[in-house]
Amino acid sequence: MAAHPSRISQYLALTKPRVTQLAVFCSVIGMFLATPDLPDWHLVIAAAAGIWLLAGAAFAINCLVEREIDSRMARTARRASAQGEISVQQICLFSAVIGGAGMWVLYFLVNPLTMWLTFATFIGYAVIYTILLKPATPQNIVIGGLSGAMPPALGWAAIANDVPMQAWLLVLIIFVWTPPHFWALALYRRDDYAKSGLPMLPITHGMKFTGLHIWLYTIVLVATTALPFVVRMSGLIYLVSAMGLGGVFLYFSWQLYQHYNDLMARKTFTFSIIYLSLLFAALLVDHYLKF
Protein backbone atom coordinates (compact mmCIF):
# COMPACT_ATOMS: atom_id res chain seq x y z
CA MET A 1 0.00 0.00 0.00
CA ALA A 2 1.35 3.43 -0.94
CA ALA A 3 2.25 5.72 1.94
CA HIS A 4 -0.20 8.54 2.58
CA PRO A 5 1.36 11.85 1.51
CA SER A 6 2.31 14.26 4.27
CA ARG A 7 0.29 17.41 4.81
CA ILE A 8 3.23 19.51 3.63
CA SER A 9 3.50 17.57 0.37
CA GLN A 10 -0.27 17.94 -0.14
CA TYR A 11 -0.06 21.72 0.20
CA LEU A 12 3.02 21.80 -2.02
CA ALA A 13 1.12 19.83 -4.68
CA LEU A 14 -1.52 22.57 -4.75
CA THR A 15 1.14 24.93 -6.13
CA LYS A 16 1.79 22.62 -9.13
CA PRO A 17 5.57 22.64 -8.61
CA ARG A 18 6.58 21.45 -12.10
CA VAL A 19 4.59 24.16 -13.85
CA THR A 20 5.76 26.75 -11.34
CA GLN A 21 9.39 25.76 -11.89
CA LEU A 22 9.08 26.33 -15.64
CA ALA A 23 7.46 29.72 -15.04
CA VAL A 24 10.20 30.78 -12.62
CA PHE A 25 12.87 29.51 -15.04
CA CYS A 26 11.43 31.70 -17.82
CA SER A 27 11.26 34.67 -15.46
CA VAL A 28 14.91 34.21 -14.47
CA ILE A 29 15.91 34.17 -18.14
CA GLY A 30 14.04 37.46 -18.48
CA MET A 31 16.08 38.84 -15.58
CA PHE A 32 19.38 37.98 -17.26
CA LEU A 33 18.27 39.32 -20.64
CA ALA A 34 17.22 42.63 -19.09
CA THR A 35 20.81 43.73 -18.53
CA PRO A 36 24.02 43.48 -20.59
CA ASP A 37 25.87 42.46 -17.42
CA LEU A 38 25.02 39.94 -14.75
CA PRO A 39 21.97 41.01 -12.74
CA ASP A 40 22.16 41.71 -9.01
CA TRP A 41 21.84 38.25 -7.46
CA HIS A 42 19.87 39.69 -4.52
CA LEU A 43 17.21 40.88 -6.96
CA VAL A 44 17.24 37.58 -8.85
CA ILE A 45 16.64 35.56 -5.68
CA ALA A 46 13.99 37.92 -4.31
CA ALA A 47 12.13 38.19 -7.63
CA ALA A 48 12.23 34.43 -8.24
CA ALA A 49 10.91 33.80 -4.72
CA GLY A 50 8.13 36.36 -5.05
CA ILE A 51 7.04 35.11 -8.47
CA TRP A 52 7.10 31.51 -7.23
CA LEU A 53 4.92 32.39 -4.24
CA LEU A 54 2.30 34.27 -6.28
CA ALA A 55 2.28 31.60 -8.99
CA GLY A 56 1.79 28.95 -6.32
CA ALA A 57 -1.07 30.96 -4.84
CA ALA A 58 -2.75 31.17 -8.25
CA PHE A 59 -2.42 27.42 -8.80
CA ALA A 60 -3.86 26.76 -5.34
CA ILE A 61 -6.93 28.82 -6.26
CA ASN A 62 -7.13 26.85 -9.51
CA CYS A 63 -7.19 23.59 -7.50
CA LEU A 64 -9.86 25.05 -5.23
CA VAL A 65 -12.17 26.15 -8.06
CA GLU A 66 -11.71 22.91 -10.00
CA ARG A 67 -11.80 20.46 -7.07
CA GLU A 68 -14.99 18.75 -8.29
CA ILE A 69 -13.73 18.62 -11.88
CA ASP A 70 -10.39 17.24 -10.66
CA SER A 71 -12.17 14.49 -8.74
CA ARG A 72 -13.58 13.15 -12.04
CA MET A 73 -10.23 13.06 -13.83
CA ALA A 74 -7.68 10.29 -13.31
CA ARG A 75 -4.77 12.74 -13.70
CA THR A 76 -5.96 14.97 -10.86
CA ALA A 77 -8.22 12.80 -8.69
CA ARG A 78 -5.47 12.23 -6.10
CA ARG A 79 -5.06 15.90 -5.29
CA ALA A 80 -5.89 16.65 -1.68
CA SER A 81 -8.30 19.36 -2.82
CA ALA A 82 -10.17 16.88 -5.06
CA GLN A 83 -10.39 14.32 -2.25
CA GLY A 84 -11.55 16.89 0.29
CA GLU A 85 -8.54 16.28 2.56
CA ILE A 86 -7.79 20.01 2.53
CA SER A 87 -10.84 22.20 3.10
CA VAL A 88 -11.94 25.24 1.12
CA GLN A 89 -11.05 27.50 4.04
CA GLN A 90 -7.58 25.95 4.37
CA ILE A 91 -6.84 26.38 0.66
CA CYS A 92 -8.02 29.99 0.74
CA LEU A 93 -5.87 30.72 3.78
CA PHE A 94 -2.86 28.96 2.23
CA SER A 95 -3.23 30.91 -1.02
CA ALA A 96 -3.67 34.19 0.85
CA VAL A 97 -0.58 33.61 3.01
CA ILE A 98 1.82 32.63 0.24
CA GLY A 99 0.31 35.14 -2.20
CA GLY A 100 0.56 37.93 0.36
CA ALA A 101 4.14 36.95 1.14
CA GLY A 102 4.96 37.01 -2.56
CA MET A 103 3.48 40.48 -2.96
CA TRP A 104 5.43 41.76 0.06
CA VAL A 105 8.70 40.33 -1.29
CA LEU A 106 8.17 41.79 -4.75
CA TYR A 107 7.04 45.23 -3.52
CA PHE A 108 9.68 45.82 -0.86
CA LEU A 109 12.64 43.76 -2.10
CA VAL A 110 12.23 44.13 -5.88
CA ASN A 111 9.99 46.97 -7.13
CA PRO A 112 6.27 47.88 -7.20
CA LEU A 113 6.01 47.41 -10.99
CA THR A 114 6.97 43.74 -10.71
CA MET A 115 4.55 43.23 -7.83
CA TRP A 116 1.61 44.76 -9.71
CA LEU A 117 2.39 42.88 -12.94
CA THR A 118 2.66 39.61 -11.04
CA PHE A 119 -0.56 40.32 -9.14
CA ALA A 120 -2.31 41.06 -12.47
CA THR A 121 -1.00 37.72 -13.73
CA PHE A 122 -2.45 36.06 -10.62
CA ILE A 123 -5.87 37.60 -11.36
CA GLY A 124 -5.59 36.64 -15.02
CA TYR A 125 -4.96 32.98 -14.24
CA ALA A 126 -6.92 32.38 -11.04
CA VAL A 127 -10.00 34.42 -11.95
CA ILE A 128 -10.26 35.27 -15.66
CA TYR A 129 -8.91 31.95 -16.99
CA THR A 130 -9.93 29.45 -14.30
CA ILE A 131 -13.35 30.81 -13.38
CA LEU A 132 -14.54 32.62 -16.53
CA LEU A 133 -12.82 31.25 -19.63
CA LYS A 134 -11.96 27.60 -19.01
CA PRO A 135 -15.55 26.36 -18.52
CA ALA A 136 -16.97 28.66 -21.22
CA THR A 137 -15.06 28.17 -24.48
CA PRO A 138 -12.81 25.62 -26.23
CA GLN A 139 -10.51 28.57 -26.99
CA ASN A 140 -9.91 28.97 -23.25
CA ILE A 141 -6.23 28.08 -23.45
CA VAL A 142 -5.66 30.55 -26.28
CA ILE A 143 -7.43 33.52 -24.70
CA GLY A 144 -6.20 32.76 -21.20
CA GLY A 145 -2.67 31.96 -22.33
CA LEU A 146 -1.46 35.51 -21.73
CA SER A 147 -1.31 35.04 -17.97
CA GLY A 148 0.85 31.94 -18.37
CA ALA A 149 3.08 33.78 -20.85
CA MET A 150 3.96 36.65 -18.50
CA PRO A 151 6.98 35.27 -16.54
CA PRO A 152 9.71 36.70 -18.86
CA ALA A 153 8.14 40.17 -18.58
CA LEU A 154 7.96 39.82 -14.80
CA GLY A 155 11.62 38.89 -14.65
CA TRP A 156 12.58 41.75 -16.97
CA ALA A 157 10.62 44.23 -14.86
CA ALA A 158 12.36 42.98 -11.72
CA ILE A 159 15.79 43.99 -13.03
CA ALA A 160 15.05 46.93 -15.32
CA ASN A 161 11.92 48.33 -13.61
CA ASP A 162 10.55 48.52 -17.15
CA VAL A 163 8.94 46.20 -19.71
CA PRO A 164 10.27 47.11 -23.18
CA MET A 165 9.38 45.58 -26.53
CA GLN A 166 12.00 42.83 -26.15
CA ALA A 167 10.29 41.52 -23.02
CA TRP A 168 6.94 41.41 -24.79
CA LEU A 169 8.51 39.37 -27.61
CA LEU A 170 9.36 36.70 -25.05
CA VAL A 171 5.78 36.85 -23.77
CA LEU A 172 4.53 36.46 -27.34
CA ILE A 173 6.65 33.33 -27.84
CA ILE A 174 5.17 31.60 -24.78
CA PHE A 175 1.69 32.82 -25.71
CA VAL A 176 1.92 31.14 -29.14
CA TRP A 177 3.64 28.06 -27.65
CA THR A 178 0.85 27.42 -25.13
CA PRO A 179 -1.92 26.09 -27.44
CA PRO A 180 0.11 23.33 -29.18
CA HIS A 181 1.67 22.41 -25.84
CA PHE A 182 -1.63 22.12 -23.97
CA TRP A 183 -3.71 20.66 -26.78
CA ALA A 184 -1.22 17.80 -27.16
CA LEU A 185 -1.96 16.94 -23.52
CA ALA A 186 -5.70 17.34 -24.10
CA LEU A 187 -5.57 14.88 -27.00
CA TYR A 188 -4.24 11.91 -25.07
CA ARG A 189 -6.21 12.92 -21.97
CA ARG A 190 -9.43 13.38 -23.96
CA ASP A 191 -11.36 10.76 -21.96
CA ASP A 192 -10.49 12.58 -18.75
CA TYR A 193 -11.61 15.90 -20.18
CA ALA A 194 -14.82 14.34 -21.48
CA LYS A 195 -15.59 13.28 -17.89
CA SER A 196 -14.68 16.72 -16.57
CA GLY A 197 -17.33 18.52 -18.60
CA LEU A 198 -14.85 21.19 -19.70
CA PRO A 199 -15.22 22.29 -23.36
CA MET A 200 -11.72 21.29 -24.45
CA LEU A 201 -11.01 21.45 -28.18
CA PRO A 202 -10.64 17.65 -28.79
CA ILE A 203 -14.05 17.13 -27.17
CA THR A 204 -15.92 19.96 -28.88
CA HIS A 205 -14.30 19.85 -32.33
CA GLY A 206 -12.68 16.43 -32.62
CA MET A 207 -9.21 14.94 -32.80
CA LYS A 208 -8.37 15.85 -36.41
CA PHE A 209 -9.42 19.47 -35.96
CA THR A 210 -7.25 19.75 -32.84
CA GLY A 211 -4.30 18.14 -34.60
CA LEU A 212 -4.61 20.64 -37.45
CA HIS A 213 -4.62 23.54 -35.02
CA ILE A 214 -1.55 22.18 -33.23
CA TRP A 215 0.23 22.01 -36.60
CA LEU A 216 -0.84 25.56 -37.59
CA TYR A 217 0.09 27.05 -34.23
CA THR A 218 3.49 25.36 -34.41
CA ILE A 219 4.14 27.02 -37.78
CA VAL A 220 3.25 30.38 -36.26
CA LEU A 221 5.43 29.57 -33.25
CA VAL A 222 8.51 28.87 -35.36
CA ALA A 223 8.00 32.14 -37.23
CA THR A 224 7.52 34.00 -33.95
CA THR A 225 10.73 32.63 -32.48
CA ALA A 226 12.67 34.30 -35.31
CA LEU A 227 11.58 37.76 -34.14
CA PRO A 228 14.30 38.22 -31.48
CA PHE A 229 16.88 37.79 -34.24
CA VAL A 230 14.97 40.06 -36.63
CA VAL A 231 14.94 42.95 -34.13
CA ARG A 232 18.61 42.27 -33.24
CA MET A 233 17.79 41.23 -29.71
CA SER A 234 19.70 38.00 -30.30
CA GLY A 235 22.28 36.60 -32.70
CA LEU A 236 23.11 33.52 -34.73
CA ILE A 237 23.49 31.16 -31.78
CA TYR A 238 19.88 31.76 -30.86
CA LEU A 239 18.59 31.73 -34.44
CA VAL A 240 20.21 28.40 -35.29
CA SER A 241 18.94 26.91 -32.02
CA ALA A 242 15.43 28.25 -32.53
CA MET A 243 15.17 26.95 -36.09
CA GLY A 244 16.59 23.55 -35.13
CA LEU A 245 14.24 23.16 -32.19
CA GLY A 246 11.37 24.48 -34.29
CA GLY A 247 12.08 21.91 -36.98
CA VAL A 248 11.76 19.09 -34.46
CA PHE A 249 8.54 20.58 -33.07
CA LEU A 250 7.14 20.84 -36.61
CA TYR A 251 7.98 17.19 -37.20
CA PHE A 252 6.16 16.11 -34.04
CA SER A 253 3.10 18.24 -34.75
CA TRP A 254 2.91 17.06 -38.38
CA GLN A 255 3.11 13.43 -37.34
CA LEU A 256 0.46 14.09 -34.71
CA TYR A 257 -1.83 15.60 -37.32
CA GLN A 258 -1.28 13.01 -40.04
CA HIS A 259 -0.83 9.81 -38.03
CA TYR A 260 -2.41 10.34 -34.63
CA ASN A 261 -1.79 7.99 -31.74
CA ASP A 262 -1.64 8.61 -28.00
CA LEU A 263 2.08 7.85 -27.83
CA MET A 264 2.85 10.56 -30.37
CA ALA A 265 0.65 13.01 -28.45
CA ARG A 266 2.59 12.23 -25.27
CA LYS A 267 5.89 12.67 -27.08
CA THR A 268 4.73 15.98 -28.53
CA PHE A 269 3.63 17.24 -25.12
CA THR A 270 6.89 16.17 -23.48
CA PHE A 271 9.00 17.69 -26.25
CA SER A 272 7.07 20.95 -26.02
CA ILE A 273 8.34 21.41 -22.45
CA ILE A 274 11.90 20.52 -23.45
CA TYR A 275 11.54 22.84 -26.45
CA LEU A 276 10.63 25.89 -24.39
CA SER A 277 13.37 25.23 -21.83
CA LEU A 278 16.05 24.84 -24.50
CA LEU A 279 14.78 27.82 -26.48
CA PHE A 280 15.07 30.14 -23.49
CA ALA A 281 18.42 28.61 -22.54
CA ALA A 282 19.62 29.41 -26.08
CA LEU A 283 18.49 33.01 -25.59
CA LEU A 284 20.60 33.21 -22.45
CA VAL A 285 23.70 31.66 -24.03
CA ASP A 286 23.34 33.91 -27.07
CA HIS A 287 22.96 36.95 -24.82
CA TYR A 288 26.45 36.49 -23.43
CA LEU A 289 28.14 34.94 -26.47
CA LYS A 290 26.35 36.86 -29.23
CA PHE A 291 28.09 37.07 -32.60
Band of pLDDT at residue 256, cut at 50, 70 and 90: very high
- State the pLDDT at residue 193: 86
Rg (CA), the chain: 19
How far is Cα 182 from Cα 132, in angstroms, rounded to an integer? 18
- State the pLDDT at residue 241: 98
Region 151-169: what's the mean pLDDT?
A: 97
Query: Taking 60 as the threshold, does the pLDDT of residue 52 lie above it?
Result: yes
State what percent of residues in the chain have pLDDT above 90: 79
Distance (Å) of CA 269 to CA 23, 63, 217: 16, 22, 14
DSSP 100: H
Distance (Å) of CA 264 to CA 188, 257, 267: 9, 10, 5
Tell me which of 163 and 198 has the higher pLDDT: 163
Distance (Å) of CA 101 to CA 16, 105, 257, 284: 18, 6, 44, 29
Query: Taking 80 as the threshold, does the pLDDT of residue 291 lie above it?
Result: no
Query: Is the four-CA dihedral 102, 106, 107, 108 of positive or negative sign?
Result: positive
Band of pLDDT at residue 1, cut at 50, 70 and 90: very low
